[in-house]
Amino acid sequence: MKAYIEQLRKELHQHNYNYYILNSPVITDKEFDDKLYELQQLELNYPEFADPLSPTQRVGSDLTGAFEQAEHQYPMLSLGNTYSPDEVSDFYQRVQKALNEPFELVCELKYDGTSISLIYEDGALSRAVTRGDGVKGDVVTANVKTIRSIPLYLQGESYPAKFEIRGEILMPWSVFDQLNIEREAKEEPIFANPRNAGSGTLKLQNSAEVASRRLDSYLYSVLGDDLPFTTHFESLMAARSWGFKISEAVQVCSTLNQVFDFIHYWDIERKNLPVATDGIVIKVNSFRQREELGFTAKSPRWAIAYKYQAEKALTRLLSVSFQVGRTGAVTPVANLEPVQLSGTVVKRASLHNADIIAALDLHIGDSVYVEKGGEIIPKITAVATELRNQDGERVKFIETCPECGATLTRIEGEAAHYCPNDQHCPPQLKGKIEHFVSRKAMNIDGLGSETIQLLFTTGLVRSVADLYSLKVSDLSGLERLGLKSAQNICKSIEQSKTISFEKLIFALGIRYVGETVAKKLAQAFKSIDKLSVATVDELIAVDEIGERIAGSVVLFFADEQNRQLIAQLREAGLQLRLNEESDNKISDVLLNQSIVISGTFRYFSREEYKKLIEQHGGKNAGSVSAKTSMLLAGDNMGPEKLKKAEKLGVRLISEDEFLSLIGQNPTRDESSQPIQQAPPQMGTLF
């Protein structure tokens, strides 16, 4: 029995790591909870095998080495979970017996997000910390400040001088769907659900990228010394008046039947919400009664979480097909007997990679359970082996590319298999062209996937260089393309020759080189000639470039066909170096100085000022910190930045002073309208 207990602990530790560190769980919440419950019972029955580091004795951790850590003033404990109405009744009776007096319960939605602790001092957000291991967490204040539903300054004057409020950071369904569409187009791993996507976003190093993902929040617990409240519900209503986003789905219940009415109602209605929920949290309302009930080692006795069962369906696996993407990644797809699930008909489900196929031990004809990860992405979660037809062939991951026949490869440390024949494999060739013409790359209009397929099939275009040989007469006679469409396509192709060097690097489709990396490479090496001969060590020396990216860049330019492609693009007249304005460094007057821009300006736009800062040796920063050298202050600047700059003693410099400092004369009429005028009420967002 000792060996089994230790093995169970090992499994749970691994699942904790998958969930909190990798943001990539491989089992459902219920499966985890079932395993944890089994371990708890075994430890009760066999106390001689107790272990102070058992998963039952701690809260899972999401700590990383990339953020500063801070201890929680009040430990962030987890709630006991149940999927059973009977256990909700048991909880109610335990509370009733322990208190032996009337009590109220508050029912709230259990939002499926990332737990956060927000500290406010004198009405201003001072720190945001993740749950971490329950005792300390990662400080993510800069990223949290980008979430518009979290107030930077509170409303009114009734709030305590210092207090903590806790809640969940969430990614709305609409943002999640769009993010996965974009990641799939780039052949990046898609997120399983909004919780993982939101958690990953909150840990990004680039706050601007965090802001672009439009995270949301719901807050649900106020803590502090000598708070002026006697009940939880009262504290929530006060927090709402201070400007916090408190869910409308909060109800005070005085009977068990009212609790179950709330549970049943939201089991249906939660599917209409803009964010993910996975259950109901039930808490004793009175703070005095909570204190009397106390805590267990890892959770309060005055609260419980009731979790809804994930909707699943049983269907049959008909076949498995394999798709080849732009980068050569091969993705297995399960073709299913159509089944109704969460309001839609599911016919296909991604199997992701060979490891997942092996773990499921799939056979053709198997009866399989299908769920929607986050109730959006269909996935096979289990096989009903008791229903298996023994004649069904076991599913094996293919060894050769289904499109070109090349032997597949698997990069060490990665889950995906790749087709290495990137110069001749049709899906890769067409994918490269689609990526090259996309809006964020060369921005060539009129070349959608169907048109590219047509050009590829007719032999007019086999590589991106062929685009620059196209003539109107080549296109106008093709199916679905008339003279006007052909003229517009050729005009857009010609205009793409002026697209900047950094966008061209991105357009080349070098594996692991996204928009941000492409820009850093362009700024570091200035031209395609210098980039093409850069060594791994030289590439790693560039900010944010690691060994994986460096190795990929070196391999790309080592390929003779890629070198020929560059020569063809050069002959076509594309931008293979930074333009003179970007490349020409004017002075070092701002060398090693970190400068923040805030407000609106008379002479130049914010983007133009950022360019001037770089041309004079300075570095643009998005937020004020102790490392900030100066704050370039325009009109209507953000009060938060101003307040922090004054607190840290950061030098404020006006537009005229800045231009004088770099020796630049204004080139715009002072009486003209500002280039970038922000509405006054938007000032706190900058």
Spatial CB neighbours of 380, under 8 Å, sequence gap ≥ 6: 317, 334, 349, 351, 360, 362, 368, 369, 370
CB distance 341 to 312 below 8 Å: yes
First to last CA, the chain: 59
* 3-state secondary structure (DSSP) of residue 386: helix
Q: At what angle do helices 426-437 and 449-457 cross, to 10 degrees?
A: 130
CB distance 170 to 194 below 8 Å: yes
Distance, CA of 108 to chain centre: 26
Closest CA to 200 of 165, 176, 235, 225: 176
Closest CA to 196 of 29, 413, 416, 69: 29
Give the helix ranges, DSSP H, for 339-459.
354-360, 426-437, 449-457
- Quote the CATH superfamily of domain 585-685: BRCT domain (3.40.50.10190)
Q: Encoding tokens for residue 206?
A: 């680039």
**How far is it, in rounded angstroms, from Cα 151 to Cα 144?**
10
CB distance 483 to 472 below 8 Å: yes
**How far is it, in rounded angstroms, from Cα 418 to Cα 412?**
12
Task: Report if pTM > 0.95.
Answer: no
> What are the boundaries of each domain within the chain?
2-57, 69-307, 312-410, 426-580, 585-685
Count CA atoms closer than 13 A to 676's CA, side-chain side: 17
**How far is it, in rounded angstroms, from Cα 193 to Cα 214?**
16
Could you tell me the CA-to-CA distances from 535 to 215, 333, 530, 566, 595 in Å, in that order?
39, 38, 10, 18, 32
Could you tell me the CA-to-CA distances from 576 to 532, 537, 572 in Å, in that order?
11, 22, 11
Q: Encoding tokens for residue 418?
A: 């790749």
* 3-state secondary structure (DSSP) of residue 644: helix
Task: Kindly indicate whether the domain formed by 2-57 is annotated with CATH number 1.10.287.610.
Answer: yes
CATH architecture, range 426-580: Orthogonal Bundle (1.10)
Rg of the chain over all Cα atoms, to the nearest angstrom: 29
**How far is it, in rounded angstroms, from Cα 150 to Cα 148?**
5
Active-site annotation, residues: 110
Q: Determine what percent of the chain falls in helix, strand and coil, rounding each to the nearest 5.
A: 40, 20, 40
Pick the CATH number of 69-307 from 3.40.190.100, 3.30.470.30, 3.40.50.740, 3.40.1350.10: 3.30.470.30
**How far is it, in rounded angstroms, from Cα 377 to Cα 370?**
10
The reported pLDDT for the residue numbered 679 is 28
Number of H helices, E strands in the chain: 25, 22
- The CATH class given to the 312-410 domain equals mainly beta
**How far is it, in rounded angstroms, from Cα 522 to Cα 515?**
11
Do domains 69-307 and 426-580 share one topology? The answer is no
Spatial CB neighbours of 573, under 8 Å, sequence gap ≥ 6: 468, 497
Give the helix ranges, DSSP H, for 203-241.
207-212, 232-241
CB distance 12 to 35 below 8 Å: yes
- Per-10-residue mean pLDDT of the chain, 686 residues long, equals 85 70 67 80 82 62 63 84 89 94 96 92 91 85 87 86 94 86 70 82 79 90 90 94 92 95 91 87 95 84 88 90 89 90 76 88 92 67 87 91 94 85 91 91 89 91 94 88 90 94 94 87 92 94 86 94 95 87 68 85 79 83 82 78 84 88 63 30 24
**How far is it, in rounded angstroms, from Cα 350 to Cα 333?**
5
CB distance 472 to 487 below 8 Å: yes
Q: Encoding tokens for residue 465?
A: 């260089």
Helix or strand run (H / E) with residue 540: helix 536-540
- At residue 435, φ and ψ (nearest 5 deg) are -65, -40
Q: How many CB atoms lie within 10 A of CB 443?
A: 14
Q: Which residues pair with 303 in a beta bridge?
A: 283
**How far is it, in rounded angstroms, from Cα 660 to Cα 666?**
9
CB distance 326 to 432 below 8 Å: yes
Return the amino acid letter for 341: L
* 3-state secondary structure (DSSP) of residue 300: strand
